[in-house]
Structures are given as structure tokens and as C-alpha cells.
Amino acid sequence: MQLPLTAALLLGAACLLAFGVLLCLPRTSWRLTAVTVLMTAAVAVTSFSLQTWLRLQPVMQHAGDTAVVTATVYGKDTTPDSISYELRVVDGDLPVGTKLKYWQSDTEWQVGDTLTGKLELVDIEQQTDSRLLMLSSRAKGIYLYAWPAYTGSVEDAAPQGLPPMTAWLFSLRADLSARATELLGGEEGALTAAVCFGDVSGIPQDTENHFRRAGIAHLLVVSGMHMSLLALAISKLLRRRLSARLTAIITILCLLFFMLLIGFSPSVVRAGVMMMLVMSSGLFRRRGDGLNSMGLAFTLLSLADPFCIYDIGLQLSFGATLGILLLAKPLAAWLRSLFKLTRDSRGYPLFNGLISGLAVTLAATVTVVPLSALYFGTVSLVSPLTNLLSMWLSNGVLVLGWVTVLLSYIPLVGGYIGFALAWVQRLLCTALLALAEFFGGFIRAVVSFHQPYQLLWLVGAPLLCLLGYRLLKGKGLRIAAASAAACLLVTALLQTAVWHGVTTVRTLSAGTSVVTLITHHNRHTLLLDGSEKSWKQARYLLSDHAVVTVDSVFAYAEWQQEGYDRLLAEVSVRNAYWLQDTETVQFGEDLTVSVRNGFVRLTVEETKLLLCPSSGDVSDLPSAWYANDAICFVRRAPYSVGRLTADEALWFGSATDRQRYAATLPWGCYPITIPDGNAAVFHTRGAGDITVND
């Protein structure tokens, strides 16, 4: 939710007024704390207001317009399904420096290319149904989504090019990634490029899903682990030959170069700034403090760009770091006392290392669980174990990968040594890939948290337990745990009672395709047309609603085995069928799905929902299909649409579709709603009662 500029200015003025009042009051023990809090709030709100006024508003006034611009490609996001680009405007109707998320299907651009043409612009929040994509784009300063106004409207322009330093860094990073892929080959090379250089373009979708389900997806992006290992390796290498201050200076410069090489994403900047602050304590002969360093890093980042707080990677990174700083030592001490481990115990160094690693893993996991449940709707149950097992493997892949790639630049000697190291590196990568595949392949590796009461319980239960332990020690902890369990049980029963007998139909359109997810008696059924785009949209739909198990998948057109395999990598599918035309499938006693000439009819007891294709003729349908409670149109209405009757209808389509095909819809026959995005939700109890939420 965006705070309005007027409200931000009023809030900042109120903070400054309260700050002035406190300065006039007598000195008390709490005045310094209150003054600090109010001053921080005033600075934060002022920074947000300036950014909104100077950056956001001038850009957002062009949402919904068509603009002629010249822009340079400075980023490229490649997935198995599509390629999108990040543009920076250098001339045209938009302010110079404006960043755009851009998509074009008929031309592939490279970083550094310059293009010019007419673009359609839309607010990125309205364009995408993925909240994660919207938040990450805002964190990068991208507020508008763009695509060609018409085919051929965008072409090459006179090359403006990136700044020489930026172009050299892009080229160096690409060369390092390509060399890692060439030396190791296959998934091992792609994994090395991701862990060492942050290049995930070569990671297969299945592998990425395994890492995500196993709870170790953070290994595929540059994080605090990379920064800490890099700083530790450089400082240990130089400390024996140089003074502490000179070692700290060189380490800080190396960290800054690494940040430049990887790119200044919010999470990378957070980790780099925090490590540089910790290293700079040696310059002033002071002892570093983790909490102060983290707070100062967050302050510097938010002052430079208040919208960086939207970045999910930044939130997860700060959450994990805060958990390690606050909980790792108490958890380690508790585990040592639990296992009665003392310095006199046999095998103390080995077991102490395992306990310390487990404590750090648990501390980092506990604090990011609520964020993971909120944004992704799932929590990995195997995450603590996989993080503990992968800790040494990932460190080895990171360090050995850098050494192997750098040695490959040295002729002769580097080639022989690099060959031996590449063999060891390949073994480490294979072990890490096997670990992710093994644990991520479990059906119950993740649990869904997509109901509000579950998220509230997930956050409230630990806080209640901590409060009980704080007040009454062990007895209070037991009482608090029992109370939390009772709250979860009561809310689950209430949720079940309220939604008992309600069938939920979620639809997501993609061009001419409509993907449908039916939730009926707590069982999920997926219905799609089988095209490649529909399989892609199905994965988005399941991910957004935290569905990890699908009882049945029905494709009613050409079967795409590749799309089905990608779907299997993300969720557990119990049954899959190919629906033939004119076929009807019965689910239990009160739900049927029928297909006729591309039309799909869902019947829940007395409720009837008709999904119309972008082409087709209603006259080819049985007359019993004419009367419906709700109708869903995609792009244009079918021929002979006047024969259909309904209580209401939804129309999915792009802005161009709405201009081109608006006349084909029966506007005067029943209400037709245009959803804000490309998704809608239907609820029914089977009595002809349909509630539509767009």
C-alpha cells in the first residue's frame, strides 16, 4: 500500500512538531529515546516524500499513455518461459533516467543495446498478478511496464551505450559466468555461475524449484554469506603481511568492487554495506557491533531510496541477520545444556561446531518463516536440516568456484591446476544439487500458509510463548504454548465452518487461454487448455495461492509434456487427464466439468459457470448450455453470443483487445465486469449464487 504524499508530509510535520516540543521539556530518562525515535521518523518520512515528489509522481503520470522513447537496455531477465528487459530512458516523452520493465516477443535485445519507438505504458501493479514481481520492481525503481504499441513500432537506435565502467563490469561478469559454465558444463557450471556471480539465467526451472522447496534458494543469489566469506578470505590472506588498518582498507575496496560487479540490488547493498561497516571498525580501533552495523546499513539504504524496503530479498536478508544476531548464541547455549555438552566432553570441538551451525541455521530460519509464509504462502519444513547440511557444500562451491575461474585466466600452470580444481568443484556442485533434489522432492517438504488466521498464528504463537516464558518461566511457556494451540484449533474450526460447502473457482487469463483452479471440499482441480502459455500461467496461479498438492489436472486441448513436467517440479499432482471434446467428468456428486468446441462448463449443483474461448460459435452448443449464472469472456465474445443468458459476466483482455472487440459483447443483456488485472475469483454454494471478486 502506497502512503499518499500529502499524508507523508503531514506525518513528517507532526514528527518535527513533537520533536520540538520534547526539546522544550525537562530532561528525563525517556526523553533521549523519544527524541531519537521522532528524529528518525521525521528523516525517514521526509526522504520518502522527496523521492515520491521527485521520482515517483513524474513517472506515474504517464501510466496508461503511449510514449515515444529512446532507451538503453541495462538488465535482462531470462526464464524458461520468457525474456524481459530493464530499460533506462535516454530521450523522448519520459523523463531522462526513467526505468521501465519491458517485454517484446519478436526481437531479442542484449545489455547495452539502444532501442527507440512507441511504447504502451501501464502501472506495473496493474499489469502483473504477481505481488513478488511488483515489489521487486518497485525496489529497483521501476514503476511502469512497457511493451510495443504495435508490431514493428520498436527498432534499433543509434547506440547510446552504457557508461564505459558499467559496460566493462557487465562484460566482465558475463565472461566470468561463461567461463564457469564452460569449465564445468551442465548444471554444475550453471550452479557455479549462480553461487559465485549471481547469474541464475542458466539454472533450469526444475532445479530452482527444488532449491526453493528445500529452503535453500538463497544460495542461488548473492547474499551476506558471499560478503562475509569474501571479507574473511581477503583479511586472513593479508593480515599476516600487512597492518590491520591497511588490511581493512583493501578488504573494503574488494567488497565495493564485488558489489559493482554483481550489481547494486538492495540485498547485495545491504550485505556489502554491513560488512564494510564491520571492517571499518578496525580503522578506528573500535570493536564492531553487529546490531549497530545492521541498523546503520538499513538507515543508509532507506535514506538513499525509501522504496528499497519493498525488496523481498532485502527483508529476508535483514530478518535472517537479525535472527542470527539475537538468537544464535542463546540457542547454542540451550542446545549445549540440552545435550550436556561441556569443554571436558569427548569430541567437544566437533559437536560444538555442529551445535553452533544448527543454532545459526535455526536462528536465521525462525525470523524469516513469517515473511516466507506471507509472500510465498509456503514454509519449507526441511529448511533447517538442508541449510545445516548445505552450509559447508555451499561455502566450498563459492570459494573453489572463484579460485577455479580466476586460475583459468593464467596460461599453462593455471590450466593444469584449474582442471584438478574443476573436478573437485564438479563433485561439490553434484552433491549440492543432489541434496536439493532429494529434500525438495518430498511431497510434504513444504506446508501452505495462505489463510490470514494461519499467518496471524504463525507470528503470534512464538510471541505468546516468549511472553509466557518471560513472565512465568517454564510453567508460563507451557501455558502459552497450549493457548496458542487452542487458538489455532478454534480458528481452523471457524474457517472450516464458514467455508463449508463453498466452491471457489479461480480464473487466470493469458492471451487466448484461461486457466481455472477449482477448490471443492478442500480438493484442488486444475483445468487448462494444454498450450505452453497455459502451463506457465498454471504455475503462477498455484504459486500465488500457495497450492502445493493438486488432486487432478485436466487439459482439454493439445497436451504439452514439457509444460506438464515443469508443473510437476513445483507441485504434487495425483492424477492427470486429457479431456476429449464433448467429454464430461464428474467430481463426487455435485461437481461436473464439460467441454464442447473449446467452451468449458462448470456445474456445481445448481450453479453454472461458462468459460468461453476467444473464438467459437454459441450455436454449436446444446441449448441447455445457453442459460448460466456467470459467463467468462476472453478477448472477444464468441459468435451468436446473444443466445447466452446470465446474471453477470467477466471480460478478460488487454487494452488493445478492449478497443478492438468491445462491440462483440452483449452489453445490454447482463452486467459485464472488466477486472483490474487478468484474474478473478468466483464463490458459490451451489444454489445459483455466484459472488465474483476481481
Q: Which of 16-30, 171-185, 577-591 has the lowest mean pLDDT?
A: 16-30
pLDDT over 70 (residue 216): yes
* 168-177 pLDDT, tens digit each: 877 888 888 8
User: What is the Cα–Cα distance from 453 to 136, expressed in whole angstroms?
Assistant: 26
Overall fold of domain 66-162: OB fold (Dihydrolipoamide Acetyltransferase, E2P) (2.40.50)
pTM, two decimal places:
0.75
* 559-589 pLDDT, tens digit each: 777 777 777 777 778 888 888 888 888 877 7
User: What is the Cα–Cα distance from 57 to 294, expressed in whole angstroms?
Assistant: 31
Out of 69-73, 297-301, 438-442, give the one with best mean pLDDT. 69-73
**What distances in angstroms separate CA 503 from CA 88, 221, 602, 675, one per listed residue?**
46, 39, 11, 20
> What ranges make up the beta strands (E) of 190-259?
none
Backbone angles phi, psi at 506, to 5 degrees: -105, 130
- Percent of the chain beyond pLDDT 90? 1
> At residue 184, what is the residue type?
L
- On the 0-12 / 13-18 / 19+ scale of CB atoms within 10 A, 614 is buried
| Residue 136 neighbours by CB under 8 Å, 6+ apart | 310, 311, 312, 313
pLDDT band at 329 (very low <50, low <70, confident <90, very high): confident
**What distances in angstroms separate CA 56 from CA 41, 44, 63, 268, 301, one per listed residue?**
21, 16, 11, 23, 18
Q: What mean pLDDT value characterizes the chain?
A: 79
Mean pLDDT of the region 291-299: 77
User: What is the Cα–Cα distance from 400 to 417, expressed in whole angstroms?
Assistant: 12
Mean pLDDT of the region 461-490: 79
Give me the sign of the Cα torsion angle 356, 329, 455, 220: negative
DSSP 278-339: HHHGGGGT----HHHHHHHHHHHHHHH-GGGGG-HHHHHHHHHHHHHHHHHHHHHHHHHHHT
pLDDT over 60 (residue 129): no
- The more confident residue out of 694 and 476 is 476
Domain boundaries, the chain: 5-60, 66-162, 466-500, 503-693
pLDDT band at 1 (very low <50, low <70, confident <90, very high): very low
* 332-386 pLDDT, tens digit each: 888 888 777 777 667 667 777 778 878 888 888 888 888 888 777 778 888 888 8
Q: Please tell me the predicted confidence (pLDDT) of residue 431.
A: 92
- The more confident residue out of 444 and 87 is 87
- The more confident residue out of 126 and 659 is 659
Q: Please tell me the predicted confidence (pLDDT) of residue 283.
A: 67
CATH architecture of the domain with range 503-693: 4-Layer Sandwich (3.60)
Mean pLDDT of the region 631-650: 88
- The more confident residue out of 33 and 463 is 463
Q: Please tell me the predicted confidence (pLDDT) of residue 131.
A: 67
